[in-house]
Homo-oligomer: A and B are copies of this chain.
């Protein structure tokens, strides 16, 4: 169908998808907040762990400053954040030997486990769902998410 002329009804289907994405992001945030409360943390702490794990997966060295920038915190807030995570034993600080100004961050294995315990079933549900997609459909989902990221961040992923 999809008459290209941009009738209100047609735009609706696409806007609906965007609204859907927005609701998903809010719900994701709420689950993060729950996980945070469950382990004596704050939503920002969980977001920080996610960023650190993403960096680890991507092979990017995780420094204090980079983390703060990703989370939109200033340096004082970043220091406080890392203090909390370190106090809870979820991350470890270490000096970069190449540039001793920088603080490298590593996520403790136990923190990863806790995350998988909590988010595992949810993420598994999504993976399960994706298995019912054929190649073209799965590729479409990835293409949309990459595009959404680009639209949001003004930068594409890798």
A residues whose Cβ falls under 8 Å from a Cβ of B: 1-4, 6, 10-11, 13-31, 33-34, 47, 50-51, 54, 57, 70-72, 116, 120, 122-127, 129-131, 133-138, 140-153, 157
Contacts and interface: CB of A to CB of B under 8 A. Distances in A.
A51 B116 CA distance: 28
26 contacts: A3-B127, A14-B138, A15-B127, A17-B142, A17-B145, A18-B127, A18-B130, A19-B57, A20-B145, A20-B146, A20-B149, A21-B28, A23-B157, A24-B149, A26-B47, A30-B152, A122-B152, A126-B144, A126-B147, A129-B143, A129-B147, A129-B151, A133-B143, A137-B137, A137-B140, A141-B141
A125 B26 CA distance: 20
A66 to B, nearest CB: 14
Contact of A22 (B28, B70, B137, B150): B28
- Which of A29, A31, A150 is most buried by chain B, counting CB atoms within 10 A of its CB? A29
